[in-house]
Structure 1
Amino acid sequence: MAGLIDRWKNRALTPQTVPQAEGMSFAEGKGLSLYRQYQERLLQINACDFGDLILHMITLMQNHRDILASIQRRARFLLVDEYQDTNVAQYLWLRLLAQRPETEPRHICCVGDDDQSIYGWRGAEVGNILRFDQDFPGAKVIRLEQNYRSTGHILGAASSLIAANASRLGKSLWTEAGAGEKIDLRGLWDANEEARTVGDLVEDRQRQGDSLSEMAILVRAGFQTREFEERMITLGIPYRVIGGPRFYERAEIRDALAYLRLLVQPDDDLAFERIINLPKRGLGTAALQMINRLARAEGTSMSRAAAQLIGSEDLRPQARRALAHFLEDFKRWREQIDQLDHPSLTELILEDSGIVEMWQKDKSPDASGRLENLRELVGAMREFDSLNGFLEHISLVMDNQEASGLEKLTIMTLHAAKGLEFDTVFLPGWEEGVFPNQRSMDEGG
């Protein structure tokens, strides 16, 4: 509902102007009514949300021409940056501010690049920049086509790719930097072969005297880093991951590994503590402290202490039931170790434990990435003969601490790399659904 209201406000739609069909399409026809009640409640408590900041301004200036005239007199020069990422509300607001009698000059300058419009999912309307010269007749369009960073071959490749976009003004980028090295394009079978090939090429460059610090692997999504991390560890190539933890250090991966460690080693107290209430199952700090005290007093593990507490009256009935269910799950999973292969068993644990459901219900922007990482973890296990073999491998990977002071190869997402330059760049994973990712393809823009 919050997302729907936000989208309406991005389009400058008040409860009075939302199209009837749209208003009826949510919550069994109650969407528009809920929006109206929401706005009324905000007014009662003298509050506004982020979308209101511009929506109220538009309403004010449309209904009170004296206020609009006052603002126009004060805001005589207008400069808009990143114009390709403005939404409908911002566009209407700007049009109101820029209105002038024909006898007066209009001082408005918009800077933007239609080829860099990436916020359609957040309400951005690339059409704003495409029709700028129609909205403001007589405007001078200055194309900034000289590129100061890339070489000719890179610009040529980029221009040929972007030319496939349907809605664009078009431009011809050029540079004085010369043609530069040609792009080396390779078709590889899978992510493993990608990692092996990149590793070999990095070693070749090193032998030629190139610095690791001037090389980067740029991926589209965080889950892609795992293959490269493991390959660099195998080759003994120091690396760093920018913009996030290394793959096996990510919270959701550590959570999943804790379940697996406790599965094969019931006396692993660190694993037990990490997942006893993850996902939340009503076992708070008091229950955990009680389990801990009993384990220390008995000189036993927390799992064994928990089993004892289930049969006592020390814990609240709800906590006892949750703890019994938790231990019963592990008993059931251990019985299936010989029946299922370890990737299938891991998938079962992630589903049964509620971890997958927890991230599916999570509305934060990185939730989908965490689910991708968990799928990548299951995929990584297929390379190993057993669960124990996989967990031993993880221990070695986690112990491979970054050595300080060494030159390091950089691994990061393309988004984190904005503005950074490297002599040698590897771009893996250029495949359907990854680059560009599936969501941006589904937008149809």
Structure 2
Amino acid sequence: MDKLNQEQREALAAEGDVLVVACPGSGKTHTLIHKIAAELSQVTSHREFVVALTYTHIAAEEIRDRIEAMGVDISQLWVGTIHSFCFTWILRPYSIYHENLRDGFSVVDTFESEELLKEIAKRHPPLRSQYDCKYHATDRGFSPDRGIPSANIIAVQSSIAEYHERLLEQKKIDFEMMLKFAHDLIIEHRPIAKRLSKLFRVIAIDEYQDTRDIQYSIISRIIREKECKTKLFIVGDPNQAIFGSLGGVARTADEISALIGRPVKQLTLKNNYRSSQHIVDYFSHFAVNPLQIQATGQHRERHGDLVHDTTIDKSGLVQAISQLIRHNVEVLGIPPEQICIVAPWWIHLASITRSLVQALPEYDFNGPGLSPFAENRDNFWYKVARLALTDSAPDLFRQRIRWAREVLDELAKAGHVHDLSPRDFLKVTNGIQVRASRGTEYLAEYFDNLSRSFNLAIRPDSELSIQRQGFFDRTSNRIARIHKEESINVDDIETFRAVFRPRTGIVISTIHGVKGAEFDSVIAFGLLEGLVPHFGEPAHKKLDSAKKLMFVIGSRARLNLYLISETGRGRPGYPRYQSNVLRSLATYDYSSRSIVDPSLR
């Protein structure tokens, strides 16, 4: 515990159920990891587990890697998303007790799910695609996401009902059905919660502000079990609760206490080790839940650029951002990978990326929007692709061992059992030779060679075969869309490999996608009413929503923050103006009011 400050030590030493409200850059993940490691050291039985719930698979991998790097035995650690938790601990072992699962089920591939929903949506006017009928699970059923026009609600509900009916006919479920059915099981069959309450030493929850009520309900059902000794250790920041449209809500300590039937102690982490006090003071203006944040890191006394420009027209964005990038790299000495360009919607980023690539050929740009792979991490062949596209380098060894273990587990579930350790599996896969230079051809040949190496007789109608087709369909569609929209060909092996390399180049991301990251310099544009906040937000939530989005943007920056509320957006006669939450700071003492200020050239 010698690397922990006093606040962090108090959080670790606290008895019982604990809620840690942590400001940005306060070492939240560091604290969480030490808590998990400390609990693992107290495990004395193979029937006792430490569980960590994360918002993303990437966060789960980071936690697992960092704990393992500490030399801690992680054999009794389970870490993953709430969906993975529901699948592993509730659905898979207890599916026989649910009428929709008792005859067997599989989790539908993301591509297949979207294609089915798109087909159904087109038959329910005025809906046009799967994006018009996004929804999420609740403890009462399924609810359209916030922001869907009220006139479309009936059509959305009809589409969702038909979509579920079609999936269940195929004995498949998607991620939202996974949550709902897990909730059904744990609420209606008490022995499930009773058994889990005896297995878990602690349940640690990261980014609790993005947790939905149905997820609180699932976890609290375990904790409320009589004689339950499972503790809760919850960390997060309610000021960064920007997933409200998906049902995310930051419950207070009193509210969580009422849910679990036990007192919850609230502690805070107020020391920001990331940003300068200059940046901290600025983003603190957007805090919905006020917290006195103190910059205590190495950059605390730095006074970098803090700019809000409302004069740039949309047509001049590329020139302005190009100028900023060059100023940061050539004048300020900021490495390109420490620069992030962020906007509210992907459509805005996609439209500007191609122009930046052309304007700045000397720089690399990195972002999910330029990746040939969509979010498809649960697809078996995506897991194989990670091994195919990474080198057997020492710094990747732990990660590749874990990936190999995941592939072997999936093969075992599919009935392809091999008496191989992950290490032996890697030896075989490392020896697979492929000559193709196109990314999709390379993976197809690699997958074929892998199947031959392990004598995998995969039937055309098997789940692995269906997942393979879905993987390539989705990848090919994404490649075609990027080529059409950005005039960039990403179907080459080097682009495919770059997806799994450490981050390089200038990062491009949405506000939601950048949460959890940090950079020396952040450039944000599209900070307009109707975007920040989203036009679909209810009137009574617009102000808080906009503040949280701006809080996330500002708190990503260590030294320099450039905000652009450009003109020229919107429909004819209905222009978009700067976000009201920024307009309220019109008199703020920025270091400059213009991106094109001579000092920034």
The structure with the greater share of residues assigned to helix is 1
Structure 1 length-normalised TM: 0.48
Structure 2 length-normalised TM: 0.37
